[in-house]
Amino acid sequence: MVTQYIFIYCSAGGLVAYSESKPYNGLSSVDSSQVEAKKKRVVVLGTGWAGTSFLKDLDCSLYDVQVVSPLNYFAFTPLLPSVTCGTMEARSIVEPIRNILKKKNGDIQFWEAKCVKIDAANKRVHCRSNNSMILKGKDEFVVDYDYLVIAIGARANTFNTPGVMEHCHFLKEIVDAQKIRRSVIDCFERASLPNLTEDERKTALHFVIVGGGPTGVEFAAELHDFVCEDLVEIYPTVKDLVKITVIQSADHILNMFDERISLFAEQKFQRDGTEVKTGQRVISVSDKAITTKAKADGKVSSLPYGMVVWSTGIGIRPVLMDFMQQIGQNNTRAIATDEWLQIEGCDGIYALGDCGTIHQRKIMEDISEIFNVADKDKSGTLTVKEFRDVIEDICVRYPQVEQYLKNKRMRNVVDLLNDSKGNERKKSIELDIEGFKSALSRVDLQTKNLPATAQVAAQQGAYLARCFNHMKASEDNPEGPLKFRELGRHQFQPFRYKHFGQFAPLGGEQTAAELALPGDWISIGRSTQWLWYSVYASKQVSWRTRALVVSDWTRRSVFGRDSSRI
Amino acid sequence: MVTQYIFIYCSAGGLVAYSESKPYNGLSSVDSSQVEAKKKRVVVLGTGWAGTSFLKDLDCSLYDVQVVSPLNYFAFTPLLPSVTCGTMEARSIVEPIRNILKKKNGDIQFWEAKCVKIDAANKRVHCRSNNSMILKGKDEFVVDYDYLVIAIGARANTFNTPGVMEHCHFLKEIVDAQKIRRSVIDCFERASLPNLTEDERKTALHFVIVGGGPTGVEFAAELHDFVCEDLVEIYPTVKDLVKITVIQSADHILNMFDERISLFAEQKFQRDGTEVKTGQRVISVSDKAITTKAKADGKVSSLPYGMVVWSTGIGIRPVLMDFMQQIGQNNTRAIATDEWLQIEGCDGIYALGDCGTIHQRKIMEDISEIFNVADKDKSGTLTVKEFRDVIEDICVRYPQVEQYLKNKRMRNVVDLLNDSKGNERKKSIELDIEGFKSALSRVDLQTKNLPATAQVAAQQGAYLARCFNHMKASEDNPEGPLKFRELGRHQFQPFRYKHFGQFAPLGGEQTAAELALPGDWISIGRSTQWLWYSVYASKQVSWRTRALVVSDWTRRSVFGRDSSRI
């Protein structure tokens, strides 16, 4: 089930927006619309999971497509922790974005630049090249759009903890992983120098990971394997001084997983000698030590370290923060979109992946309108038959209803209505507006945010590409659910995430996995490691990276990991 | 012949020096001699070709060995030009030095640090760790030695040309090659940006290589292949704007090779569209353009560029420059050693590889002493028989004699003596001191410096290791030639370089090679490319790098080169 990466194309909605390109005096502007006046201009910011998935599935012959990203490659980020210790080479998990684009029919342009400002009023983005030093003044340019797809990902979130930016490593990008790799070796070389005391050596070899999520845990596991399988042989004098500590603010590591997995991971780490400090919040990081405060008793302690990797969640990139201020959003986690991934209040601007969060409309906001639409005979009460006619549209528009039924182990809506009437089971039930409200009153509690994972981002990219591909056809034949506040139907089905499962590699050829839905099926051990290998190999974007990834695993098992500090 | 990397261990000479370790108050000192008082301490600076080859062959059970190098790996530098364009991955050509050392019997210590000062008077070297930022004050330490082996290589030589350090790339180290790779892609991404004029795009894609030696030529060829085989497909809009220019001060590129190879290379470059500007000296480099002066007519011209690679020869590293001032040497190319690789005037200090140059003793300096030793009956004249008795020692001590005979196509020394007597052929010839001087007068013109190549460095390392391994045995039974100024024999044979040939890859699966001795046999074409593959694969220091190198070649031929800018 997991080895096939099937995207479920739920669809509907998505407003069609169009604006004439406005003349602009000043910075030079990319106005390809003059050439092909009829094609709408789609500008994609970012070449991560969401952006690349969108571009791969988009029918590029329908649009004039431009891509802006400071990185000219796509990186298979789930393998980043493997890059930190040389289990995987960085180049094996990247694919040049131009390689991906050249396979598309249609003329896609790629600009290696950073978006520095989104100007929604004039429908244009301001970009700055990476080569600003050399270009001197010609490094900024402007790109006009009709549709803007923001898929710029997120930055590491320091929660404004002092010293984190200066002294910690992060694990978001390829360069981060490469830096960590060099830094691990640096610590070992430093600890091997002649004029250090035993304590100084121990400090140099104290690796601290802040954050007990999948990334932090996988890095801790990789590092432990690297030390035990490779470094002990070549640094024999210092091998016993290595210590790995994971600091987690919650009570367990991997707390988004089933608790059996959390427990297994904690036990494995204990056997390995990796210390797990739970219920600890980091309050500051200096160049020598990291200071934590216990949540339980408020006790403050200071740990001298050799290297810290900070992996505690994601924050909003500055350019998006600016844009959110422009449009009056003040989320702290990501920019809010509707269920069709369009940013609320911004026609034709979409946010995918880690930089966006779907703001699921609550059913209670529309409850009267739903009742009115459903009550066809305007009798003031809703029969089961009347309710049945609209329930499908309700479930598509408000997926929390389906989730609620599932969690309550109800077979269908009749049970839901019955439930509000005190578990009587009859088909003749009729509800007035108050009864209807009360039947659905607890449904909205099921709404929850999607996790910031590659899986979500990839599905969103594919979903949006499908919407763009069907834009014309669906104008006349809308595919989406009934509109309850207006006439007609939504143009597309809203985005619906299909969870295929999640892996948590724990080192030593042990991997835990949660498959299909959370808690549905968990799997731990060596066989899961092989499942992990096969899933990650099959999910690669090209045959080239697939071959490289497999050859890197082979190389590691034959020759071990390389410890050259390059 | 070339596929086997046989080192000829010529040997002799080499003074044995010993000094008690002196107490030292101040910086902490690595005084392992207290543990094993009897073993002499050998300190090796550098882990390049010379240092690594020395360490691989040294019998480490005989000595207390310490290695100091800022790089914790050995790099197979002849493949560096391949790394610049991604034909070869950087990691495939490096081997951790600790991997090499752990295979030796004996306890070898490695310090990842830079030697900052050689203190020959106290027989110690001062070192500074790479991690000086973090160690703060504990980054410096001192290592005492009995024998010091300097194998720190060379730096790029800018000939003090203004702007070179600031604006040019070099091609000496792994990091240089990685930077060049990123920079090439940068140029292409820059040239693809929307707001540049055609001229600006052309400038961005103008790649200039200064220096027409093997490294510069190979880089130019690699770059041409990278552009034609890989980049044209993914940068279709700018592919026709690329220009590669090689600037050479001499009249031909590859002028150390047979002229047929020079000519072939020049013709191939012309067909490829790579411009070769010979007889041009670079007088300055700015951030935008490189200024050259024609040797013939003094005409100055300025070339706007996108990227410059400077590859014009080698210079002395600052720490060695300081040491040379201490001991009163003022060579400009490298530190001078005697024929046993010992630095002149410094007992127990050796220089190997690019950082040293052998100062071959001239036969005319010792001519009277040689005559006296040879004239056994003290008759004042030398018979052919008397001469024959010492000629072998003379040829070992002064290899220019052998070279002279070979160049003059003389079968043996009798011909040499006859030659001075006007080509008479008789065995009864007798020479007085003046006749002897005149017979050998032109011999010293044959002396020439060895090239700064991996082959020379590797042979020197292996040679010195053998001397160290036989140190004890040869004290009683010296292996070297007769001393002419003193009694007895030299302890070891002097170092003798055996040239196995040299390759010049020219791109497009074409390689030129000069095998055995210069001019003896040249080979050009596709079959030579395969010879190059097999030689370079067989010369790898470990099975790991061998497998990686071969798999990189395979990967390149299947998938092409990666153009991600990481």
Q: Is the pLDDT of residue B30 over 70?
A: no
Q: What percent of chain B is predicted at pLDDT more than 90? A: 54
Neighbours of B126 (CB within 10 A): 18
Which pLDDT value is given to residue B420?
62
User: In 3-state terms, what secondary structure has residue A46?
Assistant: coil
CB-facing half-sphere around the CA of A387: CA atoms within 13 A: 24
Q: Give the mean pLDDT of A523-543.
A: 82
Residue B71 pLDDT greater than 80, yes or no: yes
Say if A554 is an interface residue toward chain B (CB within 8 Å): no
The end-to-end CA distance of chain A, in Å, is 40
pLDDT of residue B520: 64
pLDDT at position B226 is 93
Asked whether the predicted pLDDT for residue A354 surpasses 90, the reply is: yes
Mean pLDDT of A38-51: 94
Q: Does the pLDDT value for residue A513 go beyond 70?
A: yes
d(CA B307, CA B190): 12
In this prediction, residue B445 has a pLDDT band, given cuts at 50, 70 and 90, of confident
Q: What is the pLDDT of residue B48?
A: 95
**Chain B residues touching residue A287 (CB < 8 angstroms):** 134
Alpha carbon B377 to its chain's center: 46
Contact B131 A548 (CB under 8 A): no
SS3 B101: helix
pLDDT surpasses 70 at B36: no
| pLDDT beyond 80 at A113 | yes
Give whole-number Cα distances, B203 to B222, B278, B282, in Å: 20, 21, 18
Picking from B275, B245, B226, B264, the residue whose alpha carbon sits closest to that of residue B513 is B264
The more confidently predicted of residues A89 and A3 is: A89
Whether the predicted pLDDT of B137 surpasses 50: yes
Residue whose entry in the numeric block shows the structure tokens 């930055």? A155
Query: If you measure CA to CA, which chain A residue comes closest to B67?
Result: A193
Q: Per-residue pLDDT for A9 more than 60?
A: no
> And the tokens for A459?
């599905």
Distance between CA atoms of B404 and B204, rounded to whole angstroms? 51
> What average pLDDT does the segment B372-383 reach?
86
Contact list, A109 vs chain B (CB under 8 Å) = 194
SS3 A110: strand
Buried b (16+ CB within 10 A) or exposed e, B3-22: eeeebebbbbbbeeeeeebe
How much is the pLDDT for A428?
62
Nearest-neighbour CA in chain B from A20: distance (Å)? 20
Confidence at A519, pLDDT banded by 50, 70, 90: low
A200 contacts B138? CB cut-off 8 A:
yes
Q: What's the pLDDT at A391?
A: 86
Whether residue B32 is predicted with pLDDT greater than 70 in this model: the reply is: no
Query: Of B563, B548, B320, B464, whose CA–CA distance to A564 is shortest?
Result: B548
Per 3-state DSSP, what percentage of chain A is helix, strand, and coil (rounded to 5)? 40, 20, 40
Residue pair B404/B443 in contact (Cβ under 8 Å)? The answer is yes
Instruction: Quote the mean pLDDT of chain A.
Output: 86
pLDDT higher than threshold 60 for residue B395: yes
Least confident of A339-343, A489-493, B54-58, B443-447: B443-447
Kindly give the interhelix angle for A413-420 and A384-397, rounded to the nearest 10 degrees.
110
Residue in chain B lying closest to A547 (CA): B555
Among A274, A205, A204, A270, CA closest to A244:
A274
Q: Which ranges of A158-228 would DSSP assign to H, the alpha helix? A: 164-167, 174-191, 198-204, 214-226
Q: What dihedral angle (degrees, nearest 10) is formed by the CA atoms of B257, B258, B263, B268?
A: -60
Among the partner residues A109, A141, A194, nearest to B28 by beta-carbon distance: A194
Residue B279 has pLDDT above 70, yes or no: yes
Distance CA A41, CA B159 (A): 53
Residues 349-408 of B with CB under 8 A from A: none
Q: B 162-221 residues with CB below 8 A of A? A: 174-175, 178, 185-186, 189-190, 192-196, 200
pLDDT digits (tens, 9 = 90+) for B473-529: 998 899 999 888 888 899 999 999 988 888 888 888 888 888 765 556 778 888 888
Between B408 and B151, the more confident residue is: B151
Q: Among A174, A178, A233, whose Cβ lies nearest the Cβ of B102? A: A233
3-class SS at B282? strand
Q: Tell me if residue A493 falls in helix, strand or coil.
A: strand
Residue A304 structure tokens: 């001298």
Averaged pLDDT for residues B342-356: 94
pLDDT band at A536 (very low <50, low <70, confident <90, very high): confident
- Average pLDDT, stretch A465-470? 96
Which residue bears the tokens 């394997």? A225
Distance CA(B335)–CA(B329), nearest Å, equals 7
For B125, the token pair is 């070297």
Tell whether the model's pLDDT for residue B25 goes beyond 50.
Answer: no
What pLDDT shows up at residue A35?
Answer: 47
Q: How confident is the model at residue B548 (pLDDT cuts 50, 70, 90)?
A: confident
Q: Of B432, B556, B427, whose CA–CA distance to A547 is shortest?
A: B556
Question: Per residue in B75-134, pLDDT tens?
Answer: 999 999 999 999 989 999 999 999 999 888 777 999 999 999 999 999 999 999 987 667
**How far, in Å, CA of A51 to CA of A44, rounded?**
7
Residue B7 C-beta-side C-alpha neighbours within 13 Å: 23
Nearest to B350 by CA among B458, B489, B461: B461
pLDDT at A26 over 60: no
Domains and CATH numbers, chain B: 1-154+316-359+448-498 (3.50.50.100), 164-314+500-559 (3.50.50.100), 363-446 (1.10.238)
Of residues A552 and B32, which shows the higher confidence score? A552
In angstroms, what separates the C-alpha of B127 from chain A's closest C-alpha? 10
Whole-complex ipTM: 0.86
Q: Which residues pair with B40 in a beta bridge?
A: B63
Within 10 angstroms of residue B314's Cβ, the number of other Cβ atoms is: 16
> Among the listed ranges A230-234, B25-29, B89-93, which one has the minimum average pLDDT value?
B25-29
- B418-430: pLDDT as tens digits: 766 655 555 567 7
Least confident of A49-53, A321-325, A465-469, A546-550: A546-550
| Distance in angstroms (rounded) separating the CA atoms of residues A320 and A152 | 9
In terms of DSSP bridges, do strands A140-144 and A124-129 run parallel, antiparallel, or are they unpaired? antiparallel
Distance CA B386, CA B556 (A): 63
Which pTM was predicted?
0.87
Strand partners, B245: B208, B275
- What pLDDT is attached to residue B69? 96
Chain A CB within 8 Å of residue B548 CB: yes
List C-alpha distances in Å: A272 to A220, A454, B384: 11, 29, 80
Q: Looking at residue A510, what is its pLDDT?
A: 87
pLDDT at B516: 65
Tell whether the torsion through CA atoms of A417, A419, A425 and A429 is positive or negative: negative
Distance, CA of A490 to CA of A44 (rounded, Å): 24
The DSSP code for A231 is: I
The answer to whether residue A14 scores a pLDDT higher than 50 is no
User: For A122, phi and psi rounded to 5 degrees?
Assistant: -100, 5
Identify residue B355 by its one-letter amino acid code. Answer: C
- B488 phi/psi in degrees, rounded to 5: 80, -170
Q: Which of A133-142, B151-160, B548-557 has the highest mean pLDDT?
A: B151-160
**Per the structure block, which two tokens stand in for A167?**
């002294």
Cross-chain residue pair B113–A193, CB shorter than 8 Å? yes
Distance CA(A530)–CA(A510), nearest Å, equals 9
**Average pLDDT of span A465-479:** 92
Q: List B residues 113-152 in contact with A (Cβ-Cβ < 8 A).
A: 113, 129-131, 134-135, 138, 141, 143
Q: How many CB pairs under 8 A join A and B?
A: 155
pLDDT in tens, B205-236: 999 999 999 999 999 999 999 999 999 888 98
Residue B281: what pLDDT? 95
Q: State residue A376 phi and psi, 5-degree precision.
A: -65, -40
pLDDT tens digits for A256-267? 888 889 999 999
How many other CB atoms sit within 10 Å of the CB of residue A39? Answer: 18
Q: Return the SS3 of B476.
A: helix
**SS3 of residue A501 by DSSP:** strand
DSSP-derived letter for residue B250 is S
Asked if A565 and A180 touch (Cβ cutoff 8 Å), the reply is: no
Partners of residue B193 in chain A, C-beta under 8 Å: 111-113, 129, 135, 138, 141
Q: How confident is the model at residue B136 (pLDDT cuts 50, 70, 90)?
A: confident
Q: What's the rounded Cα separation, in Å, for the pair B12 and A387? A: 103
B367, B437 contact by CB (below 8 A): yes
> Could you give the CA distance from residue A492 to residue A479 in angstroms, rounded to a whole number?
5
Range with lowest mean pLDDT among A51-55, A137-141, A195-199, A251-255:
A137-141
Check B131 against A186: CB less than 8 A apart.
Answer: yes
